[in-house]
Structure 1
Amino acid sequence: MELRTSLGKAALAKVMGRLIESLEGVLLYRSNGAWFIKVLDSNFIEKFYRLPVQPLDSRGKPIPAGSYVSLVNRVRSAFLDAGGYAEFFSNCSYGKMVFDRQAFTVVSTVVPCSLELVNKCDEDVISTAAQAQLQPGFLNSGLFTQLVYVLPDGMLFTCNWVGLAELPGTQSWFTPDSQGIFSKGTVMQELLHNFGLYHGWKDGVEYMDDSTSMGFGDSCPSAPELRLLGWATPLAQLNSSSLPVGVYMTYTLTATYVKSSGVMIWIQPDWLGSLYNSESIISCKAAAQTCLSSTFISCCRNIYLALRGRAAGDQDLLQDYNGKVSMHEVIQDMDNNGTLGVIDDPKVSITGVLRPSASVALFNYKVHILTGALSNSGTSITIKICRFTESPAECEDVPS
């Protein structure tokens, strides 16, 4: 299981539908301080369910007594309305991940309370109990590939997460609030766990890459995540065979939101020898002892460069990354083999950004990178990359 905690915010297949679990009825208040929801079942018999606390709306405001409480329409709108999750996933995947709007189904179910559900927040108990309330054969229609469960109000502090998902798998669970099911970053993170993506990292800390929904961001996946998903492809794949020593190679990168092909530079620094070509993660860790930085993060890693811009699926990209080149590192063996959600976390880690007209020497990788000015209304940038032996002073431009 992979989760998005409440501290900050919480492969390719056609996503055919979603199953949502919630209570639906009139909110009531009793003089003893208790809150209830009155539900009319299929036989038109009134049933009353006690809530642990007064429920909150999507803005975190208390819902007054007498209100009709229903997550069904709000959840459907969050996915299918203009600017909703369906559009978000389509933009980020360049149309490769699509919600079937006809098959998309939101169902309200009443789940009996139990110790495992109320006190232990057992997600398997929740899903089993919710499915038991459905009409026989409902899930055997072949229409649904993924199941999403929205918990009742008041479960956040019991569960201690706002989103949880199988990795890989078909199920995910959310709290019914602005950090859970009504957060597009949380929803994308959990659903992409189902398709094999792990969390984003920064400075050795999980979740901390806020340039992607796989961390604490509300934007599209990062360049290595896009490639692992099969949503986008590199402009150049650089290794000892394609990147000569002492010569700048020049490329024009287009922002990832513009198109899917040729939107990243994928560097495989195999010229580092044993520091790169170790046969296992364990030997990579051993090799790290001789790295210049003496940290695992700089050994056995591939490098990704990609221009990000605030538009389309990335319209909520943080300003820290807007109009700049993001740099990520990924454990090389899983990255080179295209392993997605099978063996271990490849630890996709953001290591920094390059502004236009910048220069950076990555001595651990023996690479020098130069960026030019933004062009084409800010959607493109020129990048020069050189591999050196001892110093960037060895690097020269290729005569035109």
Structure 2
Amino acid sequence: MLQSCYIDILGICNPVLGSRTTILSVKPLLLPDTKTIHQRLLVILLDYSACKLPATMNETTVRTIFLGHKRDGSGGVAQKYIQCSHGKFNLNTTAFKVITVRSNCTDDAVKKCAYWRIAEDGDIVSKKVLGETGFAGFTHYVYIIPGGMSNRCPWAGLAHLPGEQIWLQSSTYGVNRWATIMQEALHNYGLWHSWQGGYEYEDYSTSMGRGDACPNAAELAYLGWATPAPGGDRIDSKTLRPGTGLTFSLPATYLSPEGNYLRVVPDWLPSYKNSSQAKNLYIAVRVNKSGDGSLISLYSNKLNLHEVNATMDNDPDTYIYSDRKITFFNAITPQNRTDFAIYKLIVYGGSWVGKDILKVHLCRYQNSPTECPTLRALEKRKLLE
């Protein structure tokens, strides 16, 4: 059982008190090599006019938010889904539907903002309009609450993890922000929030944090939206010998889903045997283009490093919907090297070798970083074959 969570008006996720979400499957809903997803989405606009809380958005506006100005999926949230997933996560534009639902007022819904009651209100009327079979034909459901309820609902977005339902405020940080919609949608598929500096949600490099950007490398790997560089899926003590270096060529994550990240398994550390302390590292190049067009300068045009709980990362079947605590911890500019003493690892940002393709080097040491080659020496080497 996993807790649901909601984003408050400041963008902070909080658990829903007393609520639990049942795990729906023993396998991830999205993993590497899965088929392309075409989500059949029903968006329900709640209208509580009976208690002076009418819907504050119309169906045309909502369709534009999700499908773009042409309302054909070439813009809006649908376009972001395609860009971030490289075509693996889509909205079925033919099946997509928006419906306005007028419901009776209850204290649970309009005063307590009970998400379960809001969904129940929307479902009951929608089934009457669409029929039981028509309603069941959708794979996922979005509930948009009236703007007048904003001061009663302490969240901008809410989602089951995992599940099929999300809830959104009729606000700037709610349904009007594509990254909020993406975050809630990806909660449905098992992703948790991303961390930075010891704080949940503070990673601005991803929509799973506070960023207006695509998921980071660790998240892309989980979703099956990216593959590791050749030889880069498990860089451990057998692969990375002390004092030597490995060289890779990484395309920016926006550029290609193929071979765009490295996964380091630092099992050379004594602490790696401790299940609570062991971490794996994900390394990828981020550039502010395409779905990452709004990526801020802290991360953009740099090598981004994230760490995750190694025990969970190494056994995804067991910890399928557990929080790996994906955490951003450094960004390296090209033509620079950084010594991560805690990992006895040096990561080098090399030179650009093509359009947004960066040469990357790794070296681990036993006692001193002086055991590793210089950046200049590594830049002269050929790529790992």
Question: What TM-score, normalized by structure 2, do the two folds share?
Answer: 0.84
Alignment deviations for residues 197-230 of structure 1 (CA, whole Å, 9 cap, x no partner)? 0001011111100100000011100000000111
* Change beyond 3 A, Cα 1:171–1:308: same
**1:5 corresponds to which of 2, 8, 23:** 8
> How much does 1:2 deviate?
2.2
Match in the other structure for 2:263: 266
User: 2: CA distance between counterparts of 1:266 and 1:153?
Assistant: 44
Alignment deviations for residues 184-207 of structure 1 (CA, whole Å, 9 cap, x no partner)? 110000000000000010111111
Q: Is the 1:23–1:71 contact (alpha carbons within 8 Å) kept by the matching residues of 2? A: no
User: 2: CA distance between counterparts of 1:105 and 1:254?
Assistant: 37
Instruction: Give the root-mean-square deviation of aligned CA atoms.
Output: 2.2
> How much does 1:343 deviate?
4.9
> How much does 1:244 deviate?
1.0
Q: Is the 2:44–2:141 contact (alpha carbons within 8 Å) kept by the matching residues of 1? A: no
User: 2: CA distance between counterparts of 1:23 and 1:225?
Assistant: 32
Q: Is the 2:46–2:122 contact (alpha carbons within 8 Å) kept by the matching residues of 1? A: no
Question: What TM-score, normalized by structure 1, do the two folds share?
Answer: 0.81
User: 2: CA distance between counterparts of 1:332 and 1:339?
Assistant: 13
The one-letter code sitting in structure 2 at the alignment partner of 1:79 is F
Match in the other structure for 1:100: 92
Q: Is the 2:220–2:226 contact (alpha carbons within 8 Å) kept by the matching residues of 1? A: yes
User: 2: CA distance between counterparts of 1:251 and 1:320?
Assistant: 23
Match in the other structure for 2:239: 242
**1:76 corresponds to which of 63, 85, 90:** 63
Q: Does 1:383 align with 2:360?
A: yes
Unmatched 5+ stretches in structure 2: 14-28, 31-35, 69-73
State the percentage of identical aligned residues.
35
Alignment deviations for residues 308-357 of structure 1 (CA, whole Å, 9 cap, x no partner)? 01112111211221111111000011112235974531100000110111
Q: Is the 1:197–1:340 contact (alpha carbons within 8 Å) kept by the matching residues of 2? A: no
SS in 2 for 1:304: strand
User: 2: CA distance between counterparts of 1:118 and 1:276?
Assistant: 50
* Change beyond 3 A, Cα 1:122–1:342: farther
Alignment deviations for residues 349-393 of structure 1 (CA, whole Å, 9 cap, x no partner)? 00011011111111111101111233423x011111101001111
The one-letter code sitting in structure 2 at the alignment partner of 1:317 is L
User: 2: CA distance between counterparts of 1:341 and 1:187?
Assistant: 25
* Change beyond 3 A, Cα 1:139–1:352: farther
User: 2: CA distance between counterparts of 1:86 and 1:9?
Assistant: 24
Unmatched 5+ stretches in structure 1: 25-35, 38-47, 56-68, 285-298
Match in the other structure for 1:119: 111
Q: Does 1:86 align with 2:94?
A: no
Q: Is the 1:4–1:161 contact (alpha carbons within 8 Å) kept by the matching residues of 2? A: yes
User: 2: CA distance between counterparts of 1:353 and 1:374?
Assistant: 16
Q: Does 1:326 align with 2:304?
A: yes
Match in the other structure for 1:140: 133
> How much does 1:156 deviate?
2.1
Aligned length in residues? 344
Quick check: 13-22 or 315-324, which moved more?
Answer: 13-22
Q: Is the 1:198–1:341 contact (alpha carbons within 8 Å) kept by the matching residues of 2? A: no
Q: Is the 1:92–1:313 contact (alpha carbons within 8 Å) kept by the matching residues of 2? A: yes
Quick check: 384-393 or 139-148, which moved more?
Answer: 139-148
User: 2: CA distance between counterparts of 1:196 and 1:256?
Assistant: 21
SS in 1 for 2:90: coil
SS in 1 for 2:269: helix
Match in the other structure for 1:226: 220
